Amino acid sequence: MEFEWLNSCIADETIELVLVFNEKGDILFGNQSAVQKLEYDKEELIKCNMMQIFRQDFLEGDNGDQTFEKETLESKKETAMYRKNSSCFPVNIHIIPSKEAGIYVLMAEDISRQKDMNARIRKLKEEEQENQKARNEFTANVTHELRTPVNGIRGHVTTLLDQIQDEEQRKTLDIILYCCDNMSAIINNILDFAKLESGKFTIDEKEFDFYKMMDRVIATHSAEINKKELRFSVDVDEKIPRLMIGDELRIVQILNNLMSNAIKFTMVGYINIVVSKTSQVNDEIELFFMVRDSGIGISQAEKDRLFQSFSQVDASITRRFGGTGLGLAITKQLIEMMQGSIHLESEKGKGSTFSFSVKLRTNQSINENNDKIYGAWANFAKEEDKKGGDVFTSFGEIDKNEELKKRMDKLVLSIELSAWDKAEMLAATIKTLIDTDNDDLKKQVLRMEMAIRKSNYEKSMDMYEKVKKLLSEQIGEI
């Protein structure tokens, strides 16, 4: 009776079930919601004991009696409440004791709908995972099967190229080869993507020469950069040890993807790679890479979608430049597998900077010498940097020859001054600037480099003269 006011004011208004009970578990009050949900009459409910409502929470004692222990109930958050007809429903409960009055207020929230919903979501998720698995397996099988005919076409076209002399026909065959390579790249991307999605992708841990890796990446793209007459520079932190342990092929894949995008979307200006060592804790090294371009750039709105799979900035770009929109999604996942992250800074029309970090290992100690076998390109950029001038150097055909002449000039001066470090850097750069079929010239440059490395003045000068003569025949008076 004394709870009537409570009944009318609050308890009946709430959608939660409210039960008030005493030390013995006798129910003294049940609100409207409790009456409805438990399917008792109001009078019946207040004759019940909590043990009838919360049957799961009270165990039979040794003598066959059940005892009501409110502590058992208090320790629960989620439990079940039983209706008059012995069916039950799940609830979240909360008990507020009023010690002086010796009574307890229990509030319960019916979570059947929530539970149903969770079960349905779980089922949908499981179904989606199954579908995804089937899709990935299908993709992996189809792409694998596609590789065989593409390789077949490639092999036959290469054989034909050896047999056919006609220029026009050779051009057509070259185009077919180019298309095969594009197709292989797309197939590989789809295969990688399927593997990454199904969690079958693993990262290798093998020792590799970091500087040789960088040289290989640069060699892969230099022809395309030259063709577009873009300025190109590479700046590699000399504190990076030569021998690293990690997945070389995947780092190359990341760099190749960023580089080919940079070249694809840059018509004039420059491309620049920067690599630095950001931290080393024992044998673990963090490297930071930047690939910068002065290309078409990417707007803020477009940036957000960029690392999602199959996303290209707009459809007209696909028509103009091709691509599947998978490259950056794969790149991002590969980087994350190497405990790194990728970022983009870009402004429409002004160019883009993609930067990323990866964690690798090394057995080389921090102070160990790198044998001075730095990548030729790294030295080149450093040298340009030291001059305080333009770090970007043009590799258009004419500029390249000018550059060669300039470097030959500086080289003889360095040899004469016995500035061997500088001479070695210059010789390495000269070697990379010469792309020639002239084997004799290549050999002489190599010998010159060896003589300089050994700081042998006589031999270095001798070889220098030979290289100069051969180069003059090729590019004009030096």
Q: Show contacts with ligand ADP in window 322-351 (CB under 6 A).
A: 323-328
Number of residues located near ligand ADP, criterion CB under 6 A: 19
Q: Where are the alpha helices (DSSP H) in 18-111?
A: 32-38, 42-45, 50-53, 70-74
Which of these segments, 107-115, 197-205, 289-297, 455-463, binds ligand ADP (CB under 6 A)? 289-297
Least spacing, CB of residue 278 vs ligand ADP, in Å? 22
Least spacing, CB of residue 263 vs ligand ADP, in Å? 9
Query: Cα separation of 37 and 46, whole Å?
Result: 14
Q: Which residues pair with 29 in a beta bridge?
A: 20
Binding flag, residue 273, ligand ADP (CB under 6 A) = no
Least spacing, CB of residue 182 vs ligand ADP, in Å? 11
**Residue of 31, 233, 272, 312 interacting with ligand ADP (CB under 6 A):** 312
User: H or E stretch including 41?
Assistant: none
**Residue of 295, 334, 380, 444 interacting with ligand ADP (CB under 6 A):** 295
Q: Show contacts with ligand ADP in window 134-193 (CB under 6 A).
A: none
Least spacing, CB of residue 315 vs ligand ADP, in Å? 10
Least spacing, CB of residue 341 vs ligand ADP, in Å? 16
User: H or E stretch including 438?
Assistant: none
Cβ closer to ligand ADP: 300 or 365?
A: 300
Least spacing, CB of residue 321 vs ligand ADP, in Å? 6
Strand segments, DSSP code E, in 123-261 are 206-209, 231-236, 243-246
Cβ closer to ligand ADP: 242 or 332?
A: 332
- CA separation, residue 221 to residues 150, 230, 319, 353 (Å): 23, 11, 23, 18
* Ramachandran angles phi, psi of 259, nearest 5°: -65, -45
Q: DSSP letter at 8? A: I
- CA separation, residue 240 to residues 138, 208, 362, 385, 437 (Å): 42, 13, 10, 18, 33
- Number of residue whose CB is nearest ligand ADP: 323
Least spacing, CB of residue 308 vs ligand ADP, in Å? 9
- CA separation, residue 8 to residues 1, 2, 107, 121, 399 (Å): 12, 12, 16, 39, 92
Which of these segments, 319-327, 366-374, 390-398, 440-448, binds ligand ADP (CB under 6 A)? 319-327
Cβ closer to ligand ADP: 298 or 452?
A: 298
- Residue 405 token pair: 């002449």
Q: Show contacts with ligand ADP in window 353-372 (CB under 6 A).
A: none
- Give CA angle at 122 (116, 123), nearest 5°: 90
**Residue of 296, 411, 415, 452 interacting with ligand ADP (CB under 6 A):** 296
Query: Cα separation of 154 and 157, whole Å?
Result: 5
Give the position of tokens 């640069």.
Answer: 218
Which of these segments, 87-95, 174-182, 310-318, 335-343, binds ligand ADP (CB under 6 A)? 310-318
Least spacing, CB of residue 187 vs ligand ADP, in Å? 13
**Residue of 108, 240, 306, 467 interacting with ligand ADP (CB under 6 A):** 306
- Give CA angle at 170 (167, 175), nearest 5°: 130
Query: Cα separation of 348 and 294, whole Å?
Result: 10
Least spacing, CB of residue 318 vs ligand ADP, in Å? 7
Query: Cα separation of 155 and 157, whole Å?
Result: 6
- Residue 244 token pair: 């690293």
Amino acid identity at 401: N
Which of these segments, 41-49, 70-78, 305-313, 449-457, binds ligand ADP (CB under 6 A)? 305-313
Q: Where are the alpha helices (DSSP H) in 11-111?
A: 32-38, 42-45, 50-53, 70-74
Cβ closer to ligand ADP: 305 or 459?
A: 305
Site map for ligand ADP, 223-262, x if CB under 6 A?
----------------------------------x---xx
Q: Which residues bind ligand ADP (CB under 6 A)?
A: 257, 261-262, 265, 293, 295-296, 298, 306, 312-313, 317, 323-328, 352
